[in-house]
């Protein structure tokens, strides 16, 4: 017998029994469909213990490293504590450390958090206001080096969370967050693999997190970071990124500004699609608006890139069906 812990209930798994069958036997209404490891509707996450490799087949390397697995093909031989995949966001309290303008409409928010909030750069969290407004933001900081969680937030004119952030947030203000969520992280990338990080606007936030993680771990392959903006001011970390390229010979920074006709002028997606060539080997990180991410995924796939090597976060507006 192997012990399974699910929402504080202890369930004995019988020899040869899979986790999904054990949950259903315990009258837990676990979602499922094919019961053969194909549809992924029975995905759970192990928060303690390691699921067997066979239960993670077909999942991305990032999902594997975060403990996701398919319950219907998971026959564990060691104890596991699990939660449904969609319930991994843990709610906690944070305190605003600082907020500063990075450009006309982008602010950097730094939040103090307690040690229970563990994350990888590139994941995202949900900011929650006292009256229940919730919005997702990607994490640009590196937990090994940064004492604060760092977010880059574009303030949308008329946006509800944007208004709350600009009118009410200041040093010392308490807030709730839920998370972390998402698998757009460095885990699973081979240190010699080429990496292409492509984003527009505050899509740079998760990319910066992933980039710093890669550099800190001594990534050896070429890393090309493409950042697109409508106006020159939108390249809000231009100087920092240029300085970083001087310290890392394998890092290339390719900025593109739509309204510009100079050397940095043009469309970021077109630049990336033109420059990238080692497509099947490249690890792609695609972040930003729906149109950009959708176009890059489709066009790179059509040109020979591997979907398994694409990690992405689409900054969908709230209430758009996600
Ligand atoms: C996984 C994920 C990660 C995200 N990470 C970030 C991040 O790191 N930084 C960041 O700035 N935002 C990020 N977002 C977007 C963010 O969650 C909010 O949608 C955004 O801040 C607007 O919220 P709001 O309440 O101010 O505007 P709302 O009140 O929700 O919307 C007001 C109006 O603003 C416009 N608008 C709102 N959201 C968008 C959008 N995403 N794109 C274009 N127009 C929009 C629309 O016209 C909308 O009608 C992310 C979204 C997702 C799903
Ligand atoms: S029920 Fe389909 S993968 Fe498990």
Phi, then psi, of 159 in degrees rounded to 5: -70, 140
How many domains are contained in the chain? 3
Q: Rounded CA gap, 167 and 245, in Å? A: 36
* Domain hosting residue 140, numbered range: 90-181
Q: Is the CB of 32 under 6 A from ligand 2?
A: yes
| Residue 321 within any structural domain of the chain | no
What are the tens digits of pLDDT across the range 157-203? Answer: 999 999 999 999 999 999 999 888 888 999 889 999 999 999 999 99
Shared-domain flag, residues 310 and 200: yes
Both tokens of 64, joined, read 């594997």
238 CB-side CA count, 13 A: 14
320 in any annotated domain: no
322 has pLDDT over 60: no
pTM recorded for the entire structure:
0.82
160 in the same domain as 243? no
Of the bound ligands, which one is closest to the alpha carbon of residue 20? 2
Domain's final residue, options 87, 104, 124 = 87
User: What per-residue confidence (pLDDT) applies to 297?
Assistant: 94
pLDDT at residue 88 in the model: 64
| Residue pLDDT, tens place only, 124-145 | 998 999 988 989 999 999 999 9
- Establish whether residue 127 lines the binding site of ligand 1, counting it when its CB lies within 6 angstroms of any ligand atom: no
**Residue 108, Cβ density class (10 Å: 0-12 exposed, 13-18 middle, ≥19 buried):** middle
Ligand 1 atom at shortest distance from the alpha carbon of 165: 26
Is the same domain home to 151 and 56?
Answer: no
């Amino acid at each position: 017998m192997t012990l399974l812990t699910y929402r504080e209930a202890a369930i004995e798994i019988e020899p040869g029994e899979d986790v999904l069958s054990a949950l259903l036997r315990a009258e837990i209404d676990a979602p499922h469909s094919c019961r053969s490891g194909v549809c992924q509707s029975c995905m759970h996450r192990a928060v303690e213990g390691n699921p067997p490799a066979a239960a993670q087949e077909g999942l991305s390397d990032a999902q594997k490293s975060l403990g996701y697995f398919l319950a219907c093909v998971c026959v564990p031989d060691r104890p596991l504590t699990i939660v449904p995949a969609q319930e991994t966001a843990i709610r906690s309290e944070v305190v605003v450390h600082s907020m500063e303008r990075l450009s006309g409409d982008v602010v950097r928010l730094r939040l103090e958090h307690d040690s229970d909030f563990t994350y990888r750069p590139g994941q995202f969290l949900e900011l929650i206001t006292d009256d229940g407004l919730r919005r997702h933001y990607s994490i640009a900081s590196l937990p090994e080096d940064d004492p604060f969680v760092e977010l880059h937030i574009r303030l949308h004119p008329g946006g509800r969370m944007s208004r709350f952030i600009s009118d009410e947030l200041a040093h010392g203000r308490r807030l709730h967050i839920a998370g972390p969520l998402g698998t757009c992280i460095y885990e699973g990338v081979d240190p010699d693999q080429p990496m292409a990080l492509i984003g527009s606007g505050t899509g740079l936030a998760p990319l910066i997190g992933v980039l710093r993680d890669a550099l800190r771990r001594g990534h050896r392959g070429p890393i090309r970071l493409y950042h697109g903006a409508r106006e020159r001011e939108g390249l809000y970390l231009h100087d920092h990124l240029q300085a970083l390229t001087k310290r890392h010979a394998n890092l290339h920074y390719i900025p593109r500004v739509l309204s510009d006709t100079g050397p940095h002028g043009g469309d970021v997606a077109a630049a990336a699609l033109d420059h990238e060539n080692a497509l099947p080997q490249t690890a792609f990180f695609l972040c930003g608006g729906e149109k950009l991410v959708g176009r890059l995924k489709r066009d790179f796939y059509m040109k020979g890139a591997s979907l398994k090597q694409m990690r992405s976060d689409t900054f969908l507006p709230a209430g758009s069906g996600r």
